Amino acid sequence: MMSVGSIGAFFREMFSFVFVERRQHSEMPDADTYKTLNTPSEGIYKEKGSKFLAFAYPVFTEDEIKEHVAELKKEYHDARHHCYAWKLGMDDNRYRMNDDGEPSGTAGKPIYGQILSHELTNVLVVVVRYFGGTKLGTSGLIHAYKTATKDAFDNAEIVERTVNDILTVTFDYGVMNDVMRIVKEEEPKIVSQNFNLSCKMVLSIRQSHSSLLVDKLKKLESVSVDVRSS
C-alpha cells in the first residue's frame, strides 16, 4: 500500500508529465502554416573588390521567379554572375539552385542553405556578383553568397502565413440564406460573389478548417463546392 507521501509524489509526477506533453504539443508548428517574406528585401557583401548584391522576393509561382530573374539580369546586365535559389510549397520537392557560371556548388547551394536555415518557403533569392579582379576560391565564394543572402534575410520582415483552400461555391437562390449563415459561422474570406444569373461565391479558408466548411455546405440541396489549394 502506497503512503500519503508516495501518492502525492505520484500525482505530482503525472501532472508534470501532462503539462510537458501539452506544452510540447502547443509548441509544434501547425501543418498548414509556413514562414516567408512579407515584402522584397536586399543585402550586400563585399570581399576583395567583388560585390555580392542579394535580392530576396516572396513568390508563389515559377513564372514569377522567371520574371524576377529576367528583370535583374536586364538591370544588372554588366554583372558577371546572377546566381539564385528558390523554394516553393510546403514539401521539399519544389526548389532549384543555379550557379550561373560560378564553380559548381559555390553559389546556388549556399543561397539555398540560407533559405533552409531560416525555414522559409515561397521565396526566391538572386545574388548578383560584380567581379573585383581577385579570385576568392571555393570557400570564399561559398561564404560570400551565404553572407549576402543572410544579410537580405536579416533586413527582411519574415511573417507566418497559412496554407488556404479556395472554394468555388455555386447554389440556387432558394438556399442563399442557409449558405450565408454557414459562411457567417465559419468566417472564410469572401474573395468574390456573384448573384446575377446564378449564385456563385469564391471563398478562401485555412486548410485545416476547410473540411468542416465544405461538409456543411454540401449538406445543403443544390450546393456544389469545388476545392483547390491556393
Q: Give residue-wise pLDDT tens across range 15-28.
A: 343 333 333 333 44
Spans of all domains in the chain: 34-160, 163-229
Would 34-160 and 163-229 be classified into the same CATH topology? no
- pLDDT (average), residues 175-188: 95
Contact 137, 52 (CB under 8 A): no
- Name the band, by pLDDT with cuts 50, 70 and 90, for residue 5: low
C-alpha–C-alpha distance, residues 108 and 165, integer Å: 32
pLDDT confidence of residue 103: 97
Question: What pLDDT, in 10s, does the model give residues 48-79?
Answer: 999 999 999 999 899 999 999 999 999 999 99
* All cell numbers assigned to 74: 536586364
Question: What pLDDT, in 10s, does the model give residues 79-127?
Answer: 999 999 999 988 888 999 999 999 999 999 999 999 999 999 999 999 9
C-alpha–C-alpha distance, residues 183 and 167, integer Å: 12
Spell out the alpha helix ranges (H) of 134-223. Answer: 137-154, 176-186, 207-218
Q: Report, at the CATH architecture level, how domain 34-160 is classified.
A: 2-Layer Sandwich (3.30)
C-alpha–C-alpha distance, residues 210 and 92, integer Å: 24
* All cell numbers assigned to 51: 560585390
Class of domain 163-229: alpha beta
Put simply, whether the predicted model's pTM sits higher than 0.75 gets the answer no
153: Cα separation from own chain's centroid: 14
C-alpha–C-alpha distance, residues 178 and 25, integer Å: 36
C-alpha–C-alpha distance, residues 46 and 132, integer Å: 9
